[in-house]
Amino acid sequence: MGNKVLIGVDIGGTKTAVVISEEPPDALGRIEFPTRPAKGPRPAVELIKRGIHQLLAQRGLDASSIAAIGISCGGPLDRLRGIIQTPPNLRTWVNVPVKSVMEAEFGAVCRVENDANAGAVAEHRFGAGQGCNHMVFLTMGTGLGAGVIIDGRLYHGAVDLAGEIGHVRLTRTGPVGHNKAGSAEGWASGGGMAQVGERLVRAAMKRREKTLLAELVRKGKSVTGRDVGTAAERGDPVAIRIIQSTGKRLGAVLAILVDVLNPDRIVIGGLAMRLGDNLWKPALDVLQQEALEPSVAACKVVPAVLGERIGDVAALCVAMGF
């Protein structure tokens, strides 16, 4: 890039980060601020622009030094036109033309990509997917999505909706995710774990079985995936059962991906990195039972390695143009 720099912008429902880099995945500087979606997109977009100007000024640069800007954001979005179309975690961001706004401000090309796809490229280039040709990256957070790498390239599909594994129905009824009861997202995500968790905690309370999570239910608070993980670390048997139940459903999702796509690696981020063997063992057991044996033997299922950096690196990968 010569003396040019890349700008990465990771827009989330809770926080937004802006990073500057000469050589990804390394960052020269970083600014983070709350997204505050309730206030609408304008304040956050202005803070993004201000953050880019600030990062450039810190290095004695101006907008002419930008090679490209990459924006990673949850979908739905129009990737080619660079329009954010009301993601579930940004419900006030209705058809925000973030690409044209940034290009007008900085005179540099701006690329926009779904965060699961961007995360897949980040892990493939710089993380746990290095060296493989066919990879699936699972975002196991509040929801469940996937980015798919085929023959070393990101696969978008006919209308940019490839990888929506969370919408696949696992059971006729069950917890709701991706607006569908019994979906993969309903069963195998942080949001799904919270729904299953509350049901199992209430059942345990009726049996007078002790659980650290009972106090949350008594206070009328929601049981979150983080709550379940913390309780499991303290040996709570109900919390451990919740995680194991989620792990089994995750295993069913893995089996579908392995049978349909025959990847050589599946990389799982988010909750999977924190929940340990209580999640991984039942997931891998179900995968072994359900998927074709040669396909299972050819596929490694591993945790993501970029950790908290993945959003920053993913946005820089978008700027690079994959």
pLDDT at position 3 is 77
pLDDT, one tens digit per residue, over 47-57 is 999 999 999 99
Greater confidence, 143 or 239?
Answer: 239
Q: Domain check: are 208 and 249 in the same one?
A: yes
Instruction: Say yes or no to pLDDT of 319 above 60.
Output: yes
Query: Looking at residues 136-151, what average pLDDT do you find?
Result: 92
The total number of structural domains that make up the chain: 2
Q: Domain check: are 275 and 159 in the same one?
A: yes
pLDDT, one tens digit per residue, over 184-193 is 999 999 899 9
pLDDT at position 222 is 87
Of residues 179, 178, 182, 204, the one with CA closest to residue 249: 182
In a domain, 125, yes or no: no
Instruction: Say yes or no to pLDDT of 159 above 70.
Output: yes
Instruction: Say yes or no to pLDDT of 317 above 90.
Output: yes
Q: What is the pTM of this model?
A: 0.90
pLDDT at position 271 is 85
Domain range holding 225?
131-304
Instruction: Say yes or no to pLDDT of 60 above 90.
Output: yes
pLDDT at position 2 is 58
In a domain, 84, yes or no: yes
235-270: b (≥16 Cβ within 10 Å) or e: ebebbbbbbbbbbbbbbbbbbbbbeebebbbbbbbb
Q: Domain check: are 283 and 165 in the same one?
A: yes
C-alpha–C-alpha distance, residues 259 and 308, integer Å: 30
Query: Looking at residues 138-166, what average pLDDT do you find?
Result: 92
Q: Domain check: are 47 and 138 in the same one?
A: no
pLDDT, one tens digit per residue, over 94-121 is 999 999 999 999 999 999 999 999 999 9
Q: Domain check: are 165 and 199 in the same one?
A: yes
Q: Are 253 and 184 contacting, i.e. CB atoms less than 8 angstroms apart?
A: yes
